[in-house]
Structure 1
Amino acid sequence: MSRSDSVTAGLEIDQQPALAWLDCLIEREILRLRARYELSLDELRGIYISDQQVDALLSTRLANGNGDPAAELGAQARALAPRIEPDGPLARLGARLGIEDAQLDIILLALAPELDLRYEALYAYLNNDVARKHLTTDLALRLLSGARAGAPAQRRWFARCAPLTASGALEWLDDATPRSSLQQGFVLTPLVAQALTGQPLADPRWAPNLHWLTPETAAHVSAATREALMQASNVRVALLVGDDSCDRIAAALHWAHMHDRASLRVPVSALAAERDMACVRGALLAARLACAQIVIDDDSPADAGHIERAAHARPLAQALIDAPAPVAIATSALGTWAQRLADLPYVRVELALPDVEERRRLWQSALLASQGPLKPAEASRAADACSLLARALARRFAIGPARIAAVVASLMPPERDAMPTPGEHPADTDCLARAGQLAAQAGLRADEALGRLATRVVRQHDWSRIVLPDNTLRQLHEIADAIGQRERVYHDWRMLERTGQSAGLAILFTGSSGTGKTMAASVVANAAGLDLYRIDLASVVSKYIGETEQNLDRIFSAAHGSNAILLFDEADALMGKRSEVKDAHDRYANLEVAYLLQKLEEHDGVAILASNLPKNLDSAFTRRIHYTLEFGRPNALLRERLWRGMFGPAVPLADDIDWRFLAEKFETTGGEIQAIALDAAFLAAARDEPVSMPHLMHAMARRQTKQGNPGGLARFEAHRASMNQSQASGFDA
């Protein structure tokens, strides 16, 4: 999504005739006042703009001095009055803002200071106040009195509910001094001045994120979205529902492109920051001037202040929806907006993600387009390389057309030299060498959506690092294979049609703390090339009714399409057995369990549930689990492998470490071994020594005491000397 700074209203007027007409009106009013001695008797009028200065500003006297000069100027003014051509800029301005032709003269009077600063001095002279360099109701009425035959100016035009003010064309100036309505001052709204002078429409008071959208992404929508938007051609409001903001904006731009109109983005966050209706009025005025549509971008983050911001923005958003301009609402929260549109005719468009094959075509097309002109031999290699890369990216990332285009565009290669380096194949270097960068950019989708709701697990674990029993390791490989083959089984082999379920996988890891559940999830995610996000269900559960469901809905909505693996830690917090309903608390607790079950069934990604107490899980969860893997405490052989693999090659180790003793005498888990090894490493580093048995013994003793098992010290046996040495070195268990 990019912004455009070149949207104009196409209403630029011919300035010279308008100013000549205005000069007649001003000089006629000056002659009237001088004829009544209103100017010459006050030598300090306006404190101070002299008669000579005014004559100089007018530069050319239009009256010849014979007869009644004021009447003569009035006749000339009527002759010079700008014609309101049926298809001219003034007529189109009036039609777009609902302003009658006769009232457009006031628009021209207010426009004059924007065209020539001399009119500020002239207005101040006629207002009898050098500080009031703008029009007032009285001055406008005097200037236009008899200016057009049969079209006298009327005071009712200046009512706050009249089109001139209600449309936003005129802005009334705040004045601390109480004045009559005739003395109220006004100016032309900057947007209208820009429209009539051919400048881009941009109110300087707009928030930075309220801006025009460039239509360059209008083509980046799926075929299904195009067909759905065709059904919205005869309505004023379109509700575009999707998980990816990039695809939502692209759909809004395509809808605008179908009707040949520009798009003004109004983010909900900008509305939430406003204290009055100024933002809404400015956006509506700009949209009406440019015959554009308003895109309400529901960009509010789902955090603690989301509900408060939404409540503040709701009346402002409703004012935009109720206005006559076309409105596209881009959101991921269907229910919130559907309620507001209940009484309006609108079309709802669900932005479904393309399937794997369509994503592959989109990736390949975007990658090939990014290569630029190639020689025939290079083009063939580029097509093959892009095809391989597109297939891998399509299977890994479930993202839409606009996001795919944005990812590739963000990594466009630099200009290629005329001749490549000998032996270098541009297709290989431009496509395959950028695979990691493309994957990282595509992965930002998950970061944007889930980063506020979950914690990304960044651990470079692979199969060589994990230590498990052979049977458990074999099952973990099967789980990794199932994750990698989801697209083939569910879509290519069309098993989804047989199961009638979502294309997701639910996996349950059980076992006591420290047995490797999180590490196994990381290994599986890295093997599949997917991101892993950890959700602590204990923090998701809320004591407030309905808030737990809202938190879960945000998590699954954010994860939809991101293809990230969700790791629900401490699953017991919400997945416990449902109880007999004895009070309202029990009823709502059971509703939370039922809601999570529903979300798990609908989720089309991979969800791993980690539990320390599998017997406490509701049986309904176990029926919906595809794979269950139990992580037991390691035996002595596995513990020795864990101890030996805990220290990397960069760690200095003493020769006195007895790995077998540590493994056989202490029934520790992998997590406990990791903590003890780290403690020993800190002890050794503080004394600038290699890690030795005394360091490990001391760290082990501290761990045993911390766990309330001081009797375990008896198992030190043969290494009692190491314990004594550690105590002599000042270690405090």
Structure 2
Amino acid sequence: MPFNCSFPFRGASIKLNMITVRQRKGRPSRLRKRDIREKREETGAGRAYSHVWEHYADELRLLDLKLQRLYVRRGQTASDPQADAFRGMYVSEDEFMRMVGGRDGGAEDDPELAALAADIRNAEAVIASRKAESAKRNVFLPLVYLSAVFGLDEIEQSVVMLLLAVELDRKYERVFGFMADDLTVRLPNVGLALQVVCRDADAMRTARLAFAPNGKLARYLLAREDGGEPFGRSLLSKPLALDRRMATFLLDTGAPDETLRPAVTIHYPDEPLAPLVVHLDAQRQLASVASTRNGPVGVLLWGPPGSGKTLQLRHCCAGWGKSLLVADMRVFAEDGAGFAEKLSRIVREAVLHQAALALAHADALFPEEADAKSRERLRIVEEETDRFPLPLFVLTESRAKPDFRSGGRIWLERELAVPGEKERESLWRTFASAAGLPDGEDWSGPAVKYRFTPGQIRDAVADAVALAEWEGKPAAAVVDQACYRQIRHRLERKAVRIEPRYGWDDIVLPDEQKELLRNACAQMKYRSLVYGEWGFERKLAYGKGLSMLYAGPPGTGKTMSAQVIARELRMELYKIDLSQVISKYIGETEKNLHELFLEAHKSSAILFFDETDALFGKRSEVKDAHDKYANIETAYLLQKMEEYEGISILATNLLNNIDEAFLRRIQYVIKFPFPDAEYREKIWRATFPRETPLAEDVDFRWLAGKYEIAGGNIKNVVLSAAFLAAEKGVAVGMREIVQAVRHELQKSGKIISRTDWEDY
């Protein structure tokens, strides 16, 4: 529940009856019974507290009575009162005999002690009555709430109030120093606390258990000493103080522990929530956790960032009427010796707010390959959450399950995968509508291209709105730019990004090849319709991506075609350097391919594997172990291509080297023929930009018929001729073009006859 308590008298002093210590006729003075009676009449038994300070005033009056009782007990066996000037500085003979002779403590049948005992019982009854009435009227009392959530008994609650007294009135610093026989002392110790809150010696012996190291006081409420226990100090002499967070809670505010910020966030059940659009079945499963009565429940929830893990839990907890405390474990994972202390504070904060606890980004705690440090962290997590009574959620990106075994907690697990295309389209529409974008916009395109989580789609829509306002364009025109802002991957380590510059008008291919390329683009554009509305997704367990093979001699347009598709679909294109992927060490190639496709899944990019001849070979021509293993690598590559839901393209110069069994696993096999004279002429004309000055003697038909070179060579020739003309300060003419052709052919060892170029 949210801490929403107002303290109308915060900062005001509370006037309480003071314990006066005077010397009168050789004995300490007592509070006058008339004063006690007057204070009792002022309490108004049976009346609800109007505010927390009124409650604390009653508790301090009760504490004063208990301190008075202790003082009277000690005074009955006091030695020479003149020696009180040296109190705590030495032990007299009489005091020694009192301590070892069993005469310490005072007579319980003393009339004054009996009267004080009656006053204490009356004060306790008044407080109990007023607390009960306050509960009926929903008056929030922090001390009562604290006692309830941590399950404190009467003794533990009295100890907390004893320690809180120092925070409420500094007079108690002097009182505790006097009671401890040491005026330099400002805090009570265990022995003094037991003497004050317990009625007799038997109760004191039982109450010692409250200060055990694994008790509630030590675990949650008491300040911890730095540097360990001093040598030679008894438990009774151990000083006590409230933990600063607990004192703050009791006196000031319910805001989360400042030492845990910003890694800890508390979500309250009455906060507004974004609607759930996907994974509604997961919400039903999580809601069932509340009805589990077989013991503490733990839920492992895994999925990529932005998949909605926290939102699911917030909806779930709101349904229970519970708060949710989310702790980012990345902040604490490397905290070393402080990890246990921080986790203990996190668990305490969850108990304090009666909130379910979610350990977010727990992958940082439990790596795939466990080491001594991670095993120690696991032990600490088990130990600190062992007695946590509310649901515990562990949020990770992968399914790597922590091996929790202790505490008898029932563990359940659920994946929040990337939504399907229809669900993604629904998310795009929902977030776009919430952002005020036009309702008629078609969001199937980005839903198909980008395998985004709900969080990524939400952020992409927000970025698209901001970019549209900044650039003065419609949101639909900048949605791809906004989408790529959400993508975080490391493809650049093993691939080179190519900016797609070519369109359909730039590529010169026979109609058959162009039609295949357009069909491939259509398969990506209409995936949502075919796989979603037409039901083909149910028929395909995998292989919903697009795999293509470009086969043809060098320079025939394979790389250009990949750019055309990337530009048509407005997708990123990455060219894979196989030299960075293929390894001579067994298993290393597969590892590199696995990492490559893992990053590709994050990017939704087109993967273009150029010059794959080194990887392919005839399976029937296995001559040694190397050939056999090469086939294994090829099979693994094709497997990853089938699993990949984006576009993957293989380019080869030697189609005949590829086994037919491999070809059957590729959706589109497009053969790029060496261009004939007709297509070479088209390539010559298309390669020159419109702005290039051409001389009147340029004869593209003659060039196409005379030189049998591929489109890639023609591109090199055109560029070289342009620079030759620029150097001379003339338009590009046949002399520059033929000279550039001669240089291009010489690169491949070809020589043209003098008659072919001497005119130029």
State the Cα distance separating 1:387 from its structure 2 match. 2.8
Give 2:506's aligned residue. 465
Output one character per residue of 1:348-381: Cα deviation in whole Å (capped at 9) or x when no partner. Answer: 333355555554444434433433xxxxxxxxxx
AA matched with 1:156? L
Secondary structure of 1:621's counterpart equals helix
Give 2:340's aligned residue. 277
Distance (whole Å) between structure 1 residues aligned to residue 633 and residue 342 of structure 2: 40
Distance (whole Å) between structure 1 residues aligned to residue 177 and residue 621 of structure 2: 82
**TM alignment of 1:11-30, pairs within 5 A:** 14-22=55-63
Establish whether residue 254 from structure 1 lines up as the match of residue 315 from structure 2: yes
Secondary structure of 1:282's counterpart equals helix
Query: Unmatched 5+ residue regions in structure 1?
Result: 1-5, 46-66, 372-381, 415-425, 723-733
Contact 1:191 1:203 in 2 (8 A): yes
Distance (whole Å) between structure 1 residues aligned to residue 283 and residue 487 of structure 2: 25
Distance (whole Å) between structure 2 residues aligned to residue 522 and residue 545 of structure 1: 33
Contact 1:389 1:431 in 2 (8 A): no
Q: Of 284, 287, 290, which aligns to 1:227?
A: 284
Q: Of 303, 306, 311, which aligns to 1:245?
A: 306
State the Cα distance separating 1:478 from its structure 2 match. 2.0
Secondary structure of 2:85's counterpart equals coil
Deviates more, 1:573-582 or 1:490-499: 573-582
CA RMSD in angstroms, aligned pairs only = 5.5
State the Cα distance separating 1:285 from its structure 2 match. 1.6
Output one character per residue of 1:109-160: Cα deviation in whole Å (capped at 9) or x when no partner. Answer: 4444555667667767777889975554445445445499957773333232
State the Cα distance separating 1:250 from its structure 2 match. 2.1
Tell me: CA distance 1:245–1:691, structure 2 relative to 1, closer, same or farther (3 Å): farther
Contact 1:221 1:247 in 2 (8 A): no
Give 1:488's aligned residue. 529
Q: Of 351, 372, 378, which aligns to 1:288?
A: 351
Distance (whole Å) between structure 1 residues aligned to residue 630 and residue 73 of structure 2: 83
State the Cα distance separating 1:617 from its structure 2 match. 4.6
Tell me: CA distance 1:282–1:226, structure 2 relative to 1, closer, same or farther (3 Å): same
Contact 1:501 1:601 in 2 (8 A): yes
Establish whether residue 166 from structure 1 lines up as the match of residue 166 from structure 2: no
AA matched with 1:242? G
AA matched with 2:535? R
AA matched with 1:351? L
Distance (whole Å) between structure 1 residues aligned to residue 412 and residue 300 of structure 2: 6
Give 1:63's aligned residue. none
Distance (whole Å) between structure 2 residues aligned to residue 561 and residue 290 of structure 1: 37
Deviates more, 1:579-588 or 1:252-261: 579-588
Tell me: CA distance 1:239–1:175, structure 2 relative to 1, closer, same or farther (3 Å): closer
TM-score of the aligned structures, taking structure 2 as reference length:
0.68
Contact 1:245 1:330 in 2 (8 A): no
Distance (whole Å) between structure 2 residues aligned to residue 181 and residue 76 of structure 1: 33
Secondary structure of 1:524's counterpart equals helix
Secondary structure of 1:104's counterpart equals helix
Q: Of 263, 272, 290, which aligns to 2:324?
A: 263
Deviates more, 1:542-551 or 1:610-619: 542-551
TM-score of the aligned structures, taking structure 1 as reference length:
0.70
Tell me: CA distance 1:520–1:581, structure 2 relative to 1, closer, same or farther (3 Å): closer
Output one character per residue of 1:15-68: Cα deviation in whole Å (capped at 9) or x when no partner. Answer: 4334444556667778999977787327999xxxxxxxxxxxxxxxxxxxxx99
Contact 1:172 1:187 in 2 (8 A): no
Tell me: CA distance 1:626–1:145, structure 2 relative to 1, closer, same or farther (3 Å): same
Contact 1:221 1:402 in 2 (8 A): no
Give 1:199's aligned residue. 253
**TM alignment of 1:336-347, pairs within 5 A:** 336-337=400-401, 345-347=410-412
**TM alignment of 1:110-149, pairs within 5 A:** 110-112=163-165, 136-146=189-199
Distance (whole Å) between structure 2 residues aligned to residue 695 and residue 27 of structure 1: 113
Tell me: CA distance 1:649–1:605, structure 2 relative to 1, closer, same or farther (3 Å): same
Higher Rg: 2
Output one character per residue of 1:172-210: Cα deviation in whole Å (capped at 9) or x when no partner. Answer: 333696451445445434443444346244333336444
Tell me: CA distance 1:105–1:489, structure 2 relative to 1, closer, same or farther (3 Å): same
Contact 2:502 2:567 in 1 (8 A): yes
Establish whether residue 333 from structure 1 lines up as the match of residue 435 from structure 2: no
Contact 2:680 2:711 in 1 (8 A): yes
Contact 2:363 2:397 in 1 (8 A): no
Secondary structure of 1:172's counterpart equals coil
AA matched with 1:240? L
Tell me: CA distance 1:432–1:281, structure 2 relative to 1, closer, same or farther (3 Å): same
State the Cα distance separating 1:78 from its structure 2 match. 6.3
Distance (whole Å) between structure 2 residues aligned to residue 497 and residue 467 of structure 1: 39
Output one character per residue of 1:259-306: Cα deviation in whole Å (capped at 9) or x when no partner. Answer: 22222223342343221323322222222222222223337699xx97
Contact 1:110 1:135 in 2 (8 A): yes
Give 1:211's aligned residue. 265
Tell me: CA distance 1:552–1:17, structure 2 relative to 1, closer, same or farther (3 Å): farther
Tell me: CA distance 1:489–1:30, structure 2 relative to 1, closer, same or farther (3 Å): same
Secondary structure of 1:273's counterpart equals coil
Output one character per residue of 1:306-339: Cα deviation in whole Å (capped at 9) or x when no partner. Answer: 75799855653565465334222333422x1176
In the alignment of these two chains, the number of paired residues is: 664
Query: Unmatched 5+ residue regions in structure 2?
Result: 8-51, 91-109, 136-140
Tell me: CA distance 1:221–1:102, structure 2 relative to 1, closer, same or farther (3 Å): farther
Tell me: CA distance 1:655–1:681, structure 2 relative to 1, closer, same or farther (3 Å): closer
Secondary structure of 2:322's counterpart equals coil
Contact 2:307 2:417 in 1 (8 A): no
Contact 2:489 2:602 in 1 (8 A): no
State the Cα distance separating 1:721 from its structure 2 match. 11
Distance (whole Å) between structure 1 residues aligned to residue 544 and residue 507 of structure 2: 28
State the Cα distance separating 1:713 from its structure 2 match. 6.9
AA matched with 1:291? Q
**TM alignment of 1:222-621, pairs within 5 A:** 222=278, 223-234=280-291, 236-275=297-336, 276-298=339-361, 312-313=373-374, 315-316=376-377, 319-320=380-381, 323=386, 324=388, 325-334=390-399, 336-337=400-401, 345-371=410-436, 385-408=438-461, 433-447=474-488, 457-497=498-538, 501-511=542-552, 515-534=556-575, 536=577, 538-540=579-581, 556=597, 563-568=604-609, 595-611=636-652, 614-617=655-658, 619-621=660-662
Secondary structure of 2:325's counterpart equals strand
Tell me: CA distance 1:28–1:351, structure 2 relative to 1, closer, same or farther (3 Å): same
Contact 1:144 1:152 in 2 (8 A): no
Contact 1:191 1:285 in 2 (8 A): no
Distance (whole Å) between structure 2 residues aligned to residue 583 and residue 75 of structure 1: 100
Tell me: CA distance 1:125–1:493, structure 2 relative to 1, closer, same or farther (3 Å): same
Output one character per residue of 1:490-536: Cα deviation in whole Å (capped at 9) or x when no partner. Answer: 33333344566543222223346665434422321332244445555
AA matched with 1:262? S
State the Cα distance separating 1:474 from its structure 2 match. 2.8
State the Cα distance separating 1:627 from its structure 2 match. 0.5
Tell me: CA distance 1:345–1:144, structure 2 relative to 1, closer, same or farther (3 Å): closer
Distance (whole Å) between structure 2 residues aligned to residue 479 and residue 558 of structure 1: 23
Secondary structure of 2:359's counterpart equals strand
Give 1:627's aligned residue. 668
Distance (whole Å) between structure 1 residues aligned to residue 206 and residue 722 of structure 2: 90
Secondary structure of 1:526's counterpart equals helix
Tell me: CA distance 1:585–1:469, structure 2 relative to 1, closer, same or farther (3 Å): closer
Distance (whole Å) between structure 1 residues aligned to residue 583 and residue 474 of structure 2: 46
State the Cα distance separating 1:402 from its structure 2 match. 5.0
Tell me: CA distance 1:349–1:25, structure 2 relative to 1, closer, same or farther (3 Å): same
Tell me: CA distance 1:631–1:207, structure 2 relative to 1, closer, same or farther (3 Å): farther
State the Cα distance separating 1:625 from its structure 2 match. 0.8
Deviates more, 1:222-231 or 1:636-645: 636-645
Contact 1:173 1:186 in 2 (8 A): no
